[in-house]
Structure formats: C-alpha cells, structure tokens
Chain A
Amino acid sequence: MNILSRRSLLKVSTASLMLSAMPLPILAQEIEELVIAYNVNLPSWNPTIGVSAVNPTIQGIYQSVFDLFIAQNTDLSQTAGLLTDWGWNDDKTKIFMAVREGVVWHDGSPFTAEDVVWSLERAADPEGGNPIQFIWSTIGNFQIDGNTITGDVLRFEPTIFKWMSFLTGYVLPKAYIEKVGLDGFEKSPIGTGPYMVEKYERNAFVRLKANDNYWGGTPEFKSVTIKFITDATARVAEVESGSSHVTLEMTYEEYDRLKSGKLMGTSAPISDIGMIFFNDIEAMNDPNVRKAAVMAVNKNAIVERLLSGYGIPIDTLQAPEYVAYDASVSTPYNPEGAKELLAKSGFSIDNPVRFTIQTTRGFKPKDYEIIQAIVGLWRKVGIEAEIEVYEVAKHYELRASDKLAPAAFYNWGNSIGDPTTSTGFAMFGPTPHSVWDGEDLTNMIAPLWGEANEAKRIEGWKSVDNYIAENALVLPLFQYVQPILHAKGVNVVQHASGALLPHLMTRN
C-alpha cells in the first residue's frame, strides 16, 4: 500500500493549486465572450487623422465602434447607414443627404445632422490633418433642415459618396469631442457603431461591449475582446490553444493544416490585389519588353503553387467585385509569344533584356517567392531581372518621387471598388502614386475624373483598362483571398473589404 508522505502531499497540493489558478483554454467552454487574435495594433482611436486613418488593416476595428457616413454591404455595395439617402441634384451642383433618425451615441446623447456636417467640415479642414482632405473639400456650405442636409459641390467629384464608405469616412460626435477634446476622445472614444469601447490597453487588447441601442440591431456577441497579436506564429498558437476564437493573416499552409481539425476555416476574395508596377524608364519604354513580361507570367501556376490556390488571377487592376471589371479583357500566358516579341527587339535567352524588379519580403504572403517565380519565368523567355528587396516604406517613398525600378511588386487595396481608386490613382501619371507617365494614358484618364454621367464614366474606365492591358503598362497578378481560422462555435461572415467585423459574427 502506498502511503502519501507529507512531502508528496505538499507537492501534489502545490501543483493542483498552480494548475487550478491557470486559465482553462476557452475552446472547451461555451463562447460567451468572443476573442479575436488581430494581426495589427491599433495606434489611435481617431479614424480621421494620421497614418492609422489610411491603414486598411485596422478599419475593421474602427467600423466596430464608429459608423461610416454610408454603410457598406459585404459585397462592397453601399447601403443605408447613418445616411439613409444621398445624391446630387440634376446639374450636379448640389448634394443632399438624409440623416437616420433615432440613433444615439454610445453615451446616450442623440445623433443629429449637425454631427454629420461637423464631421464633414472637420475632414475638409486643411489644417485638420485628414489625409483625404482633398476629397472632403470638394463639398461645403452645408445647410441643415431637420434630418436633411444640403450642400454645394465646390468641385465635382463623382466618387464623393463612395468615399463616405471608405478611409476617414466616419461620423464623429461633435458635442462630445468639443467637450472632452481630442485627447479625451482618444482616451475614451464613443461612436454610434455596434460596439462600445469598454477597456483599451494600447498594444495589448481592446474589450468591446455590444451597443444594445445599435440602429442595425444588437450584435450577437455581447462582449468581444480583440487581442493585438502581431506575430503570425503567436496568433495561430492562440487559436490552436483555444485562447482566441478567430484569427486572420496566417500562412496558407497553416490555414490548410488547421481548418479541418479542431478549428474551422473560411476564405473569400477581398479587395486587395497583387500587381507589378512598370515604370516608364530603361527597358520598360520598349513595348515589346513590357508585353513579353506580361505574357511570360503564368498567373494560374503562381496562384496554385505559391498561394495554395488562395488567389484569383486578374488581367486588369479591377477585381471581379469592382464596378468597372471587364471579363473580356485578358492577357493570356503565352511564353512563345513573349519570345517572339523579345526577338523583334533583339533579345533572346542568350541575349536577355536586363532590368531590376523591386519587392518586399514578408510584407504580403509569399511576396518574395512570387517575384522569384516570375523572374524564373521571365528568364525562360529572355528577360533577366535582378531582384532588389526593400521595405514597404521605401516603396512608398520611391513611388511618390517616381523613382521606382522598371518593375516593382506591390499590393493595391480598393475597398469601395471604384475604378478611380484602383486604375485611376495607380496609373494616372500626375498623381504621386503612379509611376507611368505616358501622355496618351494621362489624356485618356483626365476627363474621367470629373465625368458626371456614371455609365459613361464606368465605360471610360473600362476602355482605359483595355488600353493598359493592350499596351502592357502594368502587370496585374491576382486578387488575394483572405483565409480566416475560427473555433467551431462561431460563424464568421467575411467582408469583401477584408475588414474583420465582429458584429457580423454569430454563434454556430
């Protein structure tokens, strides 16, 4: 018979005490409080100024607390939100907006048309620090009549209402910010969104409480904790261990490994594409080289082998969900055709055309590997590209100063799906985001900025995309598919913008 000694008893007791004090993995429990392992930190609660305001990855957190002027369906189409109706008068010199009634801010005070006007005027203030000020300043002189707002069009901007569902397009509380100031707002932010901020620890987590008065209906999960876990390995470990229920931005291999085990996975295309900018310098001034560079890339193989199928090959800068997407424009994989084009310019496998291609490494999934594969495909037809790795910050700087290499990999998000915010800004020479300065393309795009006829405007952009494809002015690669891992107890609805929105999640 074993006799429990005093020492053994002490050991067992101590171990039991320690283990009982440790938290149990939440996987084993009913999901009461939803925990999300998020891939980025939230640096600021002000969604209208600074770097955070134009960071697409944190818009999901902002949209949990604040409402956009105009809400957006999961397929990027717009729908009534705080504004229930909007538009221009016939000659497009005035705008009107109808404000939803009965909405309250998180502190219980009523939301009014004054909040909308104040938010718009603040966004348009050149000294206010809103990075999208150049769009918001195209309207002004607002008049309020009950729940209707009218205003003047100071410069016609066909996408102004689309921007109301995009970056910095949030309605903030006038009276509250005037009372507590921006610092006070940063410490204790309120909005009209589906969740209220209960507790926020910078770089650690934010705990949200459901807004029972939300105009769109109370979210299913009454309490949501978003943990900021920037390391992909740690994020995956969080959901594997059951410490979090939902996570995103893991490697495709990890996703495939885990989605059919104790976790579930959901994946859907989002408004983010991979592309290669061509700068009209050196070899890229030769149309044969550009066209050969496009024809030599087997996008299907890249998506299948490097992205594990989590991508959709594209031939223009428009993804299928965007309004100006035209399926008839295509640039098929044709290595033999590429060789013939290069031969016309005197290049061959033995005498290749040489240029530099820039890429990030690890900024987007498999970015460097994708460029390595493309360089390999190019080599087979007579293009010898040297890879230069840089940080994304350097990419921004080089692009803004038109100093990118002849080819440069980048990803382009466009969560309103409008052609101006994809082809327009990426390819219009005079903007700091484009490195293609060809006069012919600039002349084609210029009239479309102010085109008031929507159908004509969209057709115009389709023509531009067709022209770009025919002349190989850019190399569109694929649309990203976003994989999300989650516990079996939660149902995740994805948004095409890529924003992870807890109020769309339900119990399974």
Chain B
Amino acid sequence: MTRIKRILLRLLTMSITLFGVAVIVFFVIRVVPGNPISMMLPPGAQEEDIARLQALYGFDRSIPEQFFIWLSGVMQGDLGTSITTHQPVLGLVLSRLPATLELSVVALFLAVFIGGFLALASTRMRGTRVEGMIDVANGMALSIPDFLWGLVLVLLFGVLWPVFHISGRISPTLDFQFQTKFYLFESVMRLRFDIWLDLVSHMFLPALALAIPLAAIIAQLLKQSLKETMHLDYVTLSRTKGYGENHVIIQEALPNAILPTLTLVGVQFTFLIGGTVIIERLFSYEGLGNMAIDAVINRDLPLIQGIVILFALIFTIVNLAVDLTYAALNPKLRHG
C-alpha cells in the first residue's frame, strides 16, 4: 500500500471516529439527568413558560430530529449557539483552543526536557546513588496525579514563595492588543519580551503540573531504552574507539533509543491535552478545559458537543501525525 493510500485510509477512519464521537456525545448528554431548561427556570415558572423556553432553545423536538439539525449545521461549519453565552460555539471554542494548545505544547517541552535530562543523567550516573535518587523521584512523580502537583505548586510558588502567578493567562493590568489568540507565540514574534515574561509567569505552574507525570514516564522509558542500547555492539565499538561516555550516550546510543520514546510522547500528548481540563480549572487558565467544566455545570449542551468534537479532532490529528512521523523515522515501516 502506498503512503498516500495509507493516509487516505487513515483520514477515512478519522471521519468515522469523529462521527461516532458526535453520535455518542449528542445522545449521551441528552440522556443523562439534568437539562439546561430546568436549570434556568425561575421560581414561579409555569408549564407554558417551560414549553416556551424549550421551543426557544429547540428542545421541543425529538432527539433524533435535534441531532440531524445539529449535524447539518456542523457540516456547514456551524456548531450551534451556546446557551449560556449566546455566542456561536465555533467562535467560542476556536478562541480558547490557542490557550490550551500553547499550554499543552509548553508542558510537552517541559516534560521532554525534564524527562530527557533525568534519563540521560540516570544513564550517565548508573550504579551510583544519583540513579537511585532519580528513580525515587520518578516513582513519586508517576504516582501523584497532575492536579495534586498543581495544588503543591500553588502552595509553594503561589503562597509560600509567591514568584509566579497562580491564576489566569495574562495580567489584567497589561494593555496590549493581541492580533491573534496565540499570545505566547505572538509576544515573541512582536519582540514584546515583557509580555512574554508575564505570560510565562502565568503559564509556568500549570505547565509544570501537567509536565511532571509525563516527564517521569519519558525518563523511565528513555532510560530503559538507553540501558538496552548501551549494551549493543556498536556502542561498545565506539567506546573502544576512545569516545568519552557523554559522547557515547548522546551521539551513539540516544538516536536509536529515542524512537519508542517519540511514539510515547505523541500518544501521551493527547492525554496531556485531556489533563488540561482539571489543571486549567485549578489555575483559572482561560482555555478549552476550563470552558468545558463550565459548560458541563451549566448543561450548555451545544458547547459541550463543540468542545468534545474539537478534542476528538485534536486527538485523531495528533495520532495521525504520530503514526506518520513514526513511519517516516522507522526504516522498517518506511519501506512497507
């Protein structure tokens, strides 16, 4: 099968997955108890008031009918209108997506940096007390979930030593007109490093909370891969050639050992985006995750649907990208 055929097949699978997600989310959130109309009923509302509100928001139609109306809108790029904000869902989710993507990417970089450093250090110091300490730290990082790391970071760097912001994405007092919603990227492009520093000061703790568990996974896997690679003949050969240990690890062993880690990073990135839901809430970060929780609390059905579809789209795209990257890097897959 050619690469193009493979990609087309994956795109078809993606479409089926997205349709399945759309069907499930649409029906499930309508079946679970708690509908938005009953939440907005004021004291004293009568049956006719309920009927009027249901008609106003389109809940007077049957669920399949509602689904097909929504689906036809989605096909035309209209995800409906949010019940709580009265704004188009597409605009709302797209306005939040950049914040979540920036946070996730920064968290991923942090995780790769921390995890990679720990794996290399552990390999370099194998057999010493440092390796043991790194293993213990890894175990702790793995066993504590990201939101607990978030709480610890809030207490440490928000209260005891308040050097970082613990809420929001940017200081309310800063008057800077962004042209895009990718604030971090834009601040660098426009050489506004004061703004960049403010953004980083807001983003650092939530990103670190997200990164710590992933860093531990990366460190563990990369260390294991390096350990296996270090025993291979070509590594021994490079040692006999007189290369130093740092060179052997970084230049010789790492390129081969990194492949499984790369796949894992790609897969874990989707989980990392999922983790932003709780972390964004904890740090009042104005991303998709924070919006998702509000949407659920308010039973804002069109918004929930929009966010879930967008998350599903991101997951499938990331998975596709990981598969393609892996295929490109792995000679066995590259040649079929």
Among B45, B52, B165, which residue has its beta carbon within 8 angstroms of that of A23? B165
CA of A203 to CA of B164, assembled, Å: 20
Cβ contact within 8 Å between A135 and B39:
no
Cβ contact within 8 Å between B40 and A50:
yes
CA of A233 to CA of B298, assembled, Å: 21
CA of A228 to CA of B280, assembled, Å: 12
Scoring A51, A205, A229 by chain B CB atoms within 10 A of each residue's CB, the highest score goes to A51
Among B34, B56, B197, which residue has its beta carbon within 8 angstroms of that of A397? B34
- For residue B43, CB closer than 8 A to chain A, the reply is yes
CA of A240 to CA of B160, assembled, Å: 9
- For residue B321, CB closer than 8 A to chain A, the reply is no
Cβ contact within 8 Å between A234 and B284:
yes
CA of A426 to CA of B41, assembled, Å: 13
Segment touching A, from B80-88, B242-250, B259-267: B80-88
- For residue A148, CB closer than 8 A to chain B, the reply is no
Known pairs A41-B294, A46-B86, A237-B154; A204 contacts B168 (CB<8 A): yes
- For residue B36, CB closer than 8 A to chain A, the reply is yes
Cβ contact within 8 Å between A44 and B84:
yes
29 A-B residue pairs with CB within 8 Å: A37-B167, A43-B82, A43-B85, A44-B86, A50-B84, A50-B86, A51-B36, A129-B53, A131-B40, A167-B42, A183-B87, A203-B291, A204-B172, A225-B173, A227-B284, A231-B284, A233-B154, A234-B166, A234-B284, A241-B166, A243-B165, A394-B34, A396-B34, A396-B38, A396-B41, A420-B44, A430-B46, A431-B46, A433-B41
Interface residues of B (CB under 8 A from A): 33-36, 38-47, 49-50, 52-53, 56, 82-87, 95-96, 151, 154-155, 158-159, 162-173, 175, 194, 197-198, 201, 281-284, 286, 290-291, 293-294, 297-300
Cβ contact within 8 Å between B281 and A230:
yes
Q: Which 3 A-B pairs have the closest CB atoms?
A: A393-B34, A425-B43, A394-B33
Known pairs A22-B201, A134-B49, A229-B167; A204 contacts B39 (CB<8 A): no
Name the residue of chain A whose CB is nearest to the CB of B291: A203
Known pairs A44-B86, A131-B45; A23 contacts B167 (CB<8 A): no
Cβ contact within 8 Å between B159 and A204:
no
Q: Which residues of A contact B300 (CB under 8 A)?
A: 51
- For residue A133, CB closer than 8 A to chain B, the reply is yes
Name the residue of chain A whose CB is nearest to the CB of B298: A51
Q: Which residues of A (31-71) have their CB < 8 Å from a CB of B?
A: 33, 35, 37, 41, 43-44, 46, 49-54
Given pairs A51-B39, A202-B286, A433-B41, 18 additional interface contacts (CB within 8 A): A19-B163, A44-B85, A50-B84, A52-B84, A54-B40, A54-B42, A133-B52, A135-B44, A201-B170, A207-B172, A227-B172, A242-B162, A243-B165, A243-B166, A393-B38, A396-B41, A400-B50, A432-B47
Q: Which residues of A contact B173 (CB under 8 A)?
A: 33, 207, 225
CA of A234 to CA of B38, assembled, Å: 30
Q: How big is the A interface, by class?
A: 35 or more
CA of A203 to CA of B151, assembled, Å: 20
Known pairs A204-B284, A234-B282, A397-B38; A390 contacts B167 (CB<8 A): no
Known pairs A234-B282, A234-B284; A241 contacts B162 (CB<8 A): yes
CA of A109 to CA of B186, assembled, Å: 37
Cβ contact within 8 Å between A186 and B33:
no
- For residue A267, CB closer than 8 A to chain B, the reply is no
Write out, one digit per residue, whether chain A residues 78-95 have a CB within 8 A of any chain B CB (1) or not (0). 000000000000000000
Name the residue of chain A whose CB is nearest to the CB of B147: A231
- For residue A272, CB closer than 8 A to chain B, the reply is no
Q: Which residues of B contact A230 (CB under 8 A)?
A: 281, 284, 290, 293-294
CA of A25 to CA of B41, assembled, Å: 42
Among B87, B95, B163, B167, which residue has its beta carbon within 8 angstroms of that of A186? B87
Cβ contact within 8 Å between B158 and A237:
yes
CA of A396 to CA of B281, assembled, Å: 25
CA of A396 to CA of B33, assembled, Å: 9
- For residue A178, CB closer than 8 A to chain B, the reply is no
Chain B, interface SS category = loop
Scoring A21, A41, A425 by chain B CB atoms within 10 A of each residue's CB, the highest score goes to A41
Write out, one digit per residue, whether chain A residues 195-219 have a CB within 8 A of any chain B CB (1) or not (0). 0000101111101000000000000
CA of A49 to CA of B52, assembled, Å: 13
Cβ contact within 8 Å between A393 and B172:
no
- For residue A398, CB closer than 8 A to chain B, the reply is yes
Q: Which residues of A (301-352) have their CB < 8 Å from a CB of B?
A: none
Name the residue of chain B whose CB is nearest to the CB of A129: B56
Name the residue of chain A whose CB is nearest to the CB of B284: A229
How distant is A157 from chain B, measured CB to nearest CB, in Å?
Answer: 10
Cβ contact within 8 Å between B197 and A21:
yes
CA of A135 to CA of B49, assembled, Å: 11
Interface residues of A (CB under 8 A from B): 19, 21-23, 25, 33, 35, 37, 41, 43-44, 46, 49-54, 126-127, 129, 131-135, 167, 182-183, 186, 199, 201-205, 207, 225, 227-231, 233-234, 237-238, 240-243, 390-394, 396-400, 420-421, 424-426, 430-433
How distant is B173 from chain A, measured CB to nearest CB, in Å?
Answer: 7
Q: Which residues of A contact B47 (CB under 8 A)?
A: 432
Known pairs A23-B201, A41-B294; A127 contacts B282 (CB<8 A): no
Known pairs A241-B159, A393-B33; A432 contacts B50 (CB<8 A): yes
Scoring A186, A199, A204, A433 by chain B CB atoms within 10 A of each residue's CB, the highest score goes to A204
Cβ contact within 8 Å between B52 and A126:
yes
Cβ contact within 8 Å between B163 and A22:
yes
Cβ contact within 8 Å between B39 and A396:
yes
CA of A35 to CA of B172, assembled, Å: 10
Q: Which residues of A contact B294 (CB under 8 A)?
A: 41, 43, 203, 230
How distant is A126 from chain B, measured CB to nearest CB, in Å?
Answer: 6
Name the residue of chain A whose CB is nearest to the CB of B43: A425
Q: Which residues of A contact B175 (CB under 8 A)?
A: 199
Cβ contact within 8 Å between A134 and B46:
yes
CA of A25 to CA of B160, assembled, Å: 11
Cβ contact within 8 Å between B166 and A433:
no
Known pairs A393-B34, A393-B39, A400-B38; A51 contacts B84 (CB<8 A): yes
Known pairs A243-B167, A433-B43; A49 contacts B86 (CB<8 A): yes
CA of A25 to CA of B290, assembled, Å: 25
Name the residue of chain A whose CB is nearest to the CB of B295: A43
How distant is A304 from chain B, measured CB to nearest CB, in Å?
Answer: 29
CA of A154 to CA of B151, assembled, Å: 56
Cβ contact within 8 Å between B155 and A132:
no
CA of A227 to CA of B284, assembled, Å: 9
Cβ contact within 8 Å between A233 and B172:
no
Q: Which residues of B contact A228 (CB under 8 A)?
A: 284
Known pairs A231-B284, A233-B154, A241-B166; A182 contacts B159 (CB<8 A): no
CA of A316 to CA of B166, assembled, Å: 43
CA of A22 to CA of B164, assembled, Å: 7
Q: Which residues of B contact A231 (CB under 8 A)?
A: 281-282, 284
CA of A412 to CA of B52, assembled, Å: 24
CA of A306 to CA of B281, assembled, Å: 27
CA of A240 to CA of B162, assembled, Å: 10
CA of A432 to CA of B46, assembled, Å: 7
Q: Which residues of B contact A237 (CB under 8 A)?
A: 154-155, 158-159, 166
